[in-house]
Amino acid sequence: MAPTSRITSIRSDRVSEVRGLHSRSGRRKAGRFAVEGPQSVRSAVAAGVVIHDLFVDEGTGGVFSDIVDVVESLGGHVAWTTAEVMAALSETRTPQGILAVCDLLATGDADSLMAADGPVVVLEAVSDPGNVGTIIRTADAIGAAGVILTPESADVHNGKVVRSTAGSLFHLPIVAGLPLNAVVASAAAHGRTVAVASGEADTDLFAAARTGRIDARTCWVIGSEAHGVSAEARELADVLVAIPMVGRAESLNAAVAASVVLYVSAFTSQLGP
């Protein structure tokens, strides 16, 4: 069983090490990232992610004893902290009392993902961490094959991304840093339709579902918050569809748009004629 320790000073070297993981460069240098909150930490443990350090607020009592026992049994180091130290370790204003330091997730490959069942979600330059995390969570909920991010998208190990996924980051394959043309080539090789939601499209989303132009194997490209999908994405897509809107809003948030198209395509068989 790994030893435990207690940290009482926010100036501890271990606090500085964890805070270094709040930056992309720090995560790359260390090869590790921080996971905050019991739901996300439990999901990481269940997924078999290597946990090197577990920090637990001593004021939480034994509420996290199940996590502590597993991490210790696997050789991870457990450190009990004061509330002040936990606040220093955390990126959030209201820490949930537990934080793990894990190995960076292995990047999967697009071909394996494309060969699996369920829709595929491609995030093209989606830079807002909250949107990235929410889309990953939605993809998990509808049984997607996985999520692919182009190089311009937010880092999946970003703390806000991790928290926004609510554990879903550890439930499905994630492929990061893949150029769009490589994604489209892989989709075509596995017989997947590449679809883009665009306000300029002539085809209605629901009409596309009813006519079979999109289905549960569609590969959806979701564009950036500021500019939407690129001209390259529209050119490479097999089908462009419009999400119906009857109000005065000009567009939908990227995560909301992704949720709409994913649910419709995942459950096309349940739509009426």
For residue 67, what is the domain's CATH number? 3.30.1330.30
Q: Do 202 and 124 share a domain, yes or no?
A: yes
**Which phi and psi angles does 121 have, rounded to 5°?**
-115, 125
Q: Residue 52: its pLDDT value, please?
A: 96
CB burial of 124-142 (b: ≥16 within 10 Å; e: otherwise) equals: bbbebbbbbbbbbbbbbeb
Question: Using CA atoms, how far apart are residues 232 and 134, in angstroms rounded to an integer?
Answer: 25
Q: Residue 273: its pLDDT value, please?
A: 54
Residue 32, beta-bridge partner list? 103
Q: Do 36 and 159 share a domain, yes or no?
A: no
Residue 222, beta-bridge partner list? 123
* Average pLDDT score over residue span 107-133: 95
Question: Using CA atoms, how far apart are residues 34 and 61, in angstroms rounded to an integer?
Answer: 22
User: What one-letter code names the amino acid at 245?
Assistant: M
Estimate the crossing angle of helix 65-73 against helix 38-46, to 10 degrees.
40
Residue 250 has pLDDT above 60, yes or no: yes
Q: Residue 201: its pLDDT value, please?
A: 80
Question: Using CA atoms, how far apart are residues 160 and 45, in angstroms rounded to an integer?
Answer: 19
Q: Do 247 and 153 share a domain, yes or no?
A: yes
User: What one-letter code names the amino acid at 157?
Assistant: H
Q: Is residue 136 very low, low, confident or very high in pLDDT (cuts 50, 70, 90)?
A: very high
Question: Using CA atoms, how far apart are residues 169 and 175, in angstroms rounded to an integer?
Answer: 11
Of 79, 103, 127, which marks where a domain is finished?
Answer: 103
**Which phi and psi angles does 123 have, rounded to 5°?**
-100, 110
* Average pLDDT score over residue span 103-123: 94
Q: Do 73 and 201 share a domain, yes or no?
A: no
Q: Residue 248: its pLDDT value, please?
A: 87
Question: Using CA atoms, how far apart are residues 49 and 29, in angstroms rounded to an integer?
Answer: 19
CA-wise closest residue to 43 among 122, 102, 106: 102
Q: Do 47 and 146 share a domain, yes or no?
A: no
Of 53, 71, 103, which marks where a domain is finished?
Answer: 103
Q: Residue 1: its pLDDT value, please?
A: 45
Q: Is residue 184 very low, low, confident or very high in pLDDT (cuts 50, 70, 90)?
A: very high
Of 148-157, 173-182, 224-233, which gets the smallest average pLDDT? 224-233
Q: Residue 236: its pLDDT value, please?
A: 96
Q: Do 115 and 42 share a domain, yes or no?
A: no
Residue 153 has pLDDT above 80, yes or no: yes
pLDDT above 90 covers a percentage of the chain that reads 85
Q: Do 31 and 117 share a domain, yes or no?
A: no
Q: Do 88 and 119 share a domain, yes or no?
A: no
Please report, for the domain that includes residue 245, its CATH number: 3.40.1280.10
- Structural domain of residue 210, as residue ranges? 110-270
Q: Residue 226: its pLDDT value, please?
A: 81
Of 103, 129, 151, which marks where a domain is finished?
Answer: 103
Is 28 in contact with 102 (CB distance < 8 Å)? no
Q: Do 168 and 243 share a domain, yes or no?
A: yes
Q: Residue 168: its pLDDT value, please?
A: 97
Q: How many domains does the chain have?
A: 2
Q: Do 94 and 23 share a domain, yes or no?
A: yes
pLDDT tens track for 198-225: 877 888 999 999 999 999 999 999 998 7
Q: Residue 271: its pLDDT value, please?
A: 61
pTM, 2 dp = 0.93
Q: Do 91 and 172 share a domain, yes or no?
A: no
- Across 86-222, the runs of DSSP E, i.e. the strands, are 98-103, 120-123, 146-149, 174-176, 194-197, 203-204, 219-222
Q: Do 162 and 61 share a domain, yes or no?
A: no
